[in-house]
């Protein structure tokens, strides 16, 4: 009996040690916009990760409409509450849609990255872009924020999943900005594959 209890404790401890926590801080692209939340890609992600032999607890703190400034304001409490090992930052799209200066977005994301590092967690940045109707000059300045921060801060940069989803019009909502429910399993698998390159 003692040996059995010891074995169970060992297995439980091993499970805890080998389990990482990923906090997702994003906007409507990660919040399950206009769909049941259980069908959104962050909820589907753990099963996709499991298929890749990755055991990761997912905490989705994404809110539709959030800007990088909103995320920056919310982040300290999220880090204290959840104490994640990894933090995926998917923010800036709403800043871009409102025409905010790229410098504002960059400064906010930079501050978030530093906060995550201070908590001994690994920041992961997702590349984002604005629609082409915002003009090439603004579009280029906005999209360059992400690789620049990735290089400057020495953190992983995840590709923008929407660039692949948008090639399938039937996967996109009528606004041309948000993926439909049908696209969520593919997005979850895409994110799981990219995370597999980062989380070893």
Residues annotated as catalytic (active site), given as ranges: 28, 175, 178
Q: How many angstroms separate the CA atoms of 200 and 195, rounded?
A: 9
Q: How many angstroms separate the CA atoms of 84 and 86, rounded?
A: 5
**DSSP calls for 119-187:** TT-EEEEE-----GGG-HHHHHHHHTHHHHHHHHHT--EE--THHHHTTSGGGB-TTSSSB-GGGHHHH
Coil, strand or helix at 51: helix
Q: How many angstroms separate the CA atoms of 42 and 191, rounded?
A: 9
Is-contact 90 128, C-beta < 8 A? yes
Q: How many angstroms separate the CA atoms of 178 and 181, rounded?
A: 10
Structure tokens belonging to residue 22 = 């990923």
Task: Report the Cα–Cα distance between both ends of the chain, in Å, rounded.
Answer: 35
């Amino acid at each position: 009996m003692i040996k059995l209890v010891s074995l169970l404790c060992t297995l439980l401890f091993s499970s805890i040690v080998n389990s990482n926590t990923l906090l997702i801080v994003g906007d409507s692209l990660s919040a399950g916009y206009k769909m049941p939340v259980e069908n959104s890609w962050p909820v589907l992600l753990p099963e996709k990760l499991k298929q890749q032999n990755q055991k990761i607890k997912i905490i989705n703190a994404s809110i539709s409409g959030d800007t990088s400034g909103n995320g920056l304001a919310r982040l300290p409490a999220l880090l204290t509450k959840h104490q994640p090992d990894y933090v995926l930052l998917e923010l800036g799209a709403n800043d871009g849609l409102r025409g905010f200066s790229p410098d504002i977005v960059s400064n906010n994301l930079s501050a978030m990255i530093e906060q995550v590092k201070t908590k001994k967690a690994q920041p992961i940045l997702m590349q984002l872009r604005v629609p082409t109707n915002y003009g090439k000059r603004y579009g280029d300045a906005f999209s360059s924020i992400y690789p620049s921060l990735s290089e400057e801060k020495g953190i992983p940069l995840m590709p923008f999943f929407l660039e692949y989803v948008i090639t399938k019009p039937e996967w996109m909502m009528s606004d041309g900005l948000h993926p439909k429910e049908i696209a969520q399993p593919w997005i979850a698998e895409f994110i799981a594959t990219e995370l597999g390159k980062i989380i070893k």
